[in-house]
Structure 1
Amino acid sequence: MPFFSIVIPTYNRARLLEESLASVFAQELTDFEVLVVDDGSTDDTQAVLARYGERVRALRQTNQGQGAARNLGIQHATGRYIVFLDSDDLWFPWTLETYKQAIGMYGEPSVVMGTPAPFHHPEELGRVRRETLRAHAFADYFATAEESFVRTACVIAVRAEALRRVEGFTARRISGEDHDLLYRLGTERGFVCVEAPLAVGYRQHGGSSSRELERGFEGLCYLLEQERLGGYPGGAARKRERLMLILHNARHVTRWLVEGGRPELALELYRRSLRGHLSVPRWRYMLGFPPWMVASVLRQLRR
């Protein structure tokens, strides 16, 4: 059994996938297996994967989205911990060694989350230097509600048994499926956030399309509805922590929607999240967002 199973979902990113795999095979720690899930690509992804032979377990499905692709990888993974890498992102040579060091230091927590280094061009990552491990441990993920750090599936290693216990990712085609997973893992024992060294080169793409904005809106609506229906663990005792996490994300997305030219979606998300903001409460946002949105829209109209 390998210590890590690396799951890489991909769709029509053959060239970027090669770069990602090169960063995987440059790892200092080699106790891992690699599973690439081709989510119905129509480019030469299959030809690229064939060149790796037995070094990569290539899985393929009809196009169903990133959540379903990751779940197929989880189904076939054999490692103690499952690590996710997006097929346009890059690892540093120390990434897996850092995760394993944190896992050993903090008693095999359910989730270890690294810190990403945003980049547009790979050469920018040459400025990143390896640092001494700095990490913060928590009883579980919900206990991080008041902490500020980037939260995304592309920088997490999850104990396989915990991941399977919560049944992996939602298969819905939404943005925010990684947040949904983290909330369902919210009470699993042990969460560690690795502040340094940086773990993942997180590729930045161009401006958001209308469909991306809509998926972001749909994703937050899904998270709010799951919370309303009791879909996340912890019961009443952990409700405030769950709401703090979900609503922090909602505030970010409402601003993104306004800046992306979809104020009607931002206003609807504001309306749907208002009850939660009242219970936390977040008066500054509740009172300040509507006038900020109006001013932002007016500025956009004058351009």
Structure 2
Amino acid sequence: MNERSEMTARENIGKPKFSFVIPTYNRARLLAETLACVFEQTYKNHETIIVDDGSTDETVSVAKSFGDRVNVFSRDHGGCAAARNYGVSQASGDYIFFLDSDDLLFPWTLKHYANAIEREGWPTIVAGELIVFRHRHELDDIVDEPCVSLAYENFFTGSIQSDFFFGTGVCAVLKSEFQKVGGFIERDIAATDSDLQFRLGVAPGFVKIDKPFALGYRDHDENILKSYKKVFGGAQLLIVSEKSNRYPGGEAYRRHREKHIGVRARAMSLKLVRNEFPLKGMQIYFATFPMNFRNLKWKYLLALPVLAVAQWISGSIRGRDK
């Protein structure tokens, strides 16, 4: 019996197929709503693991208020990636769903993921579609519908063909493959989830569920992507890892990796420049210039330096006015 057949057999004796691993830090205001959506899943074969990353508010109390439906662990503050790794070490499921403590699942999400896993032979990653929201009522019109999905050879191939450029927050990852690549790199920066996906890039099987929506992604001021130091660190991680041949696939998948890194690096550099960090934005620009040139990203290559100079001049003027 091969590894994936063994996992199917374990499913028949009650082992949870999914483990929700939810890292959290000072999210007392939002955590209860996220947990409520977990327990509204129509597919019930799952467990929930909360890893509190040194919160100083009432986050742990909120988590424990859900009783034995959740497994709550507390650690000193070390960042989201370290908390996720610890959560996986406590998980008993075959698939890990890395749910953020501010996002919301729809009740049908696990049902469609479970069906896709069984239908496609236990792929490494199953990913869904998300919708961005700021207020809960914006999700009121989202409904379940017949599942539309496609299966691909691996993440690199499938994510490019399906135009999937989001992180692990809407993904279920096969635990055994996660462990093979050593989990998340434990740095408190952005893009550690993208780094994990790239290291899983050629592992067998990627399924993208296009319909229905799987997750509501909450846009608010506490998102990690609003921390510009972490954004810059994340961009550096991806760029340096690619240049040092840390990601799999060799020359055959170079264009796949460059497209992924380019999408993220362009967004990160633009975010930095627009938020008064033009020099850091330009560092990313120059580090990724060759890949953006090869991928014909002329608009970006021409526009970002102009925007950076304008922001630098504007910042200098404001500094003189103070």
**Shorter-chain TM band:** over 0.9
Secondary structure in 2 aligned to 1:114? strand
Secondary structure in 2 aligned to 1:127? coil
Q: How does 1:189-200 map to 2 (within 5 A)?
A: 189-200=204-215
Partner of 2:47: 33
Q: Distance in 2 between matches of 1:281 and 1:242?
A: 15
Answer yes or no: is 1:54 the counterpart of 2:53: no
State the 1:132 CA deviation: 1.5
Q: Distance in 1 between matches of 2:128 and 2:95?
A: 14
Q: Please tell me whether the aligned partners of residues 273 and 307 of structure 2 are also in contact (alpha carbons under 8 angstroms).
A: no
State the 1:261 CA deviation: 2.1
Q: Distance in 2 between matches of 1:136 and 1:154?
A: 19
Q: Distance in 1 between matches of 2:142 and 2:133?
A: 11
Secondary structure in 2 aligned to 1:193? strand
Partner of 2:7: none
Q: How does 1:283-302 map to 2 (within 5 A)?
A: 283-294=298-309
Partner of 2:12: none
Partner of 1:121: 135
Secondary structure in 2 aligned to 1:24? helix
Partner of 1:83: 97
Gaps of 5+ in 2: 1-14
Relative to structure 1, is the Cα distance of residues 207 and 109 closer, same or farther in structure 2, using a 3 angstrom cutoff? Answer: closer
Partner of 1:95: 109
Secondary structure in 1 aligned to 2:29? helix
Partner of 1:270: 285
TM-score, L = length of structure 1 = 0.92
Q: Please tell me whether the aligned partners of residues 116 and 150 of structure 1 are also in contact (alpha carbons under 8 angstroms).
A: no
State the 1:212 CA deviation: 1.0
RMSD of aligned alpha carbons: 2.3
Q: Which amino acid aligns with 1:6?
A: F
- Number of aligned residue pairs: 303
State the 1:103 CA deviation: 1.3
Q: Alpha-carbon deviations, 1:146-179, whole Å to 9, x = none?
A: 5423412110001110111111111101111111
Q: Which of 178, 186, 190 lines up with 1:171 in the alignment?
A: 186
Q: Distance in 2 between matches of 1:229 and 1:92?
A: 40
Partner of 2:4: none
Q: Distance in 1 between matches of 2:54 and 2:18?
A: 25
Answer yes or no: is 1:258 the counterpart of 2:273: yes
Q: Which amino acid aligns with 1:62?
A: D
TM-score, L = length of structure 2 = 0.87
Gaps of 5+ in 1: none
Q: Distance in 1 between matches of 2:133 and 2:293?
A: 37
